[in-house]
Copies of this chain bind each other. A is one copy, B any other.
Amino acid sequence: MSRFRLLLLACLLLSAAAARAARVDTLAIPSAAMHKTYRAAVVLPASYAKNKKANYPVLYLLHGAWGHFSDWLNKTPDKQLLHRLADDYNLIIVNPEGETFSFYLNSPVSLDSQFETYLTQEVISKIDQTYRTVANRKGRVIAGLSMGGHGALFLSARHPDLYCAAGSMSGALDLRTWNRKLAPAEAAGRARLWAPILGSEADNPERFADNSVLTLVEQMHRNGLPLIIDCGVDDGLIDINRELHRRLVYNHTPHDYTERPGAHTWEYWQTALPYQVLFLQQVLKVNGAAVE
């Protein structure tokens, strides 16, 4: 084999290897609001290390209730899903902590649970300081599953200045209805989880209403943010998602809405995420924030 061919081979092998070389950082991100520090997993695309002049768009990817920051990396059947998406789209994927039951909002009850502030100020600030990001709304998108689907739509509806698009998978989009469907024992357990976040629903119905995505449809209409919303037809949350879709159709808010086979499972979310990223990437491209 000639020296030329050897070189060519090496170079091809290298580039093939590089194609799946996404790196994952685990980053400590302190919260002044909550007086504690949480970790985040940051998936950097393979090109990030080489393409040193480029600023990369960031996808904030939120986990569900009873979950943690590492879920999206550990619980999908395909453990390379995020690596591949980061590489294919040249996207930084940040998986921040949302705690087991914060719903990504600022609790009026407990200073311990101020995740709206954490996500929209502290995490973004830390990420933009640590990495070469497109450090404005044009390069920032947010998505999540279940409680994280709520989080993505809730935070983007209230902070359209921070994100340019948002996605919800199997979102728990109505805190009221979601609680109402339970057997007594389960309801009591759920009430215990809500107590330190929003207090008792009976005593504070307006808190549960005002923090539900379903009541933000006029806000979402005014924002005009590109939205992608999906849910499995066998998911217990399908009725809530259908209701949000209808209300967004009714008030003429542009959005993508998908129903597909599946339930509230990681198989479903592994299937759903690539469609969400394809959608979000289109917005980043139009914004000129994508790394080609």
Contacts and interface: CB of A to CB of B under 8 A. Distances in A.
A256 B258 contact: yes
Contact of A259 (B15, B209, B256, B278): B256
A120 interface: no
Interface residues on A, range: 20 to 34
Interface in A224-278: 233, 239, 243, 245-246, 249-252, 254-261, 271, 274-275, 278
A66 interface: no
Contacts of A252: 180
Interface string A91-108: 000000000000000000
Number of copies: 4
Contacts of A4: 7
Contacts of A205: 218
Contact of A250 (B11, B239, B256): B239
Contacts of A275: 275, 278
Nearest to A243: B250
Contacts of A278: 274-275, 278
A8 interface: yes
A275 B274 CA distance: 9
A261 B15 CA distance: 38
Interface of A: 4, 7-8, 11-12, 15, 176-177, 180, 205, 209, 218, 233, 239, 243, 245-246, 249-252, 254-261, 271, 274-275, 278, 282
Given A254-B261, A256-B258, 6 more contacts: A12-B15, A176-B251, A239-B250, A243-B246, A275-B278, A278-B278
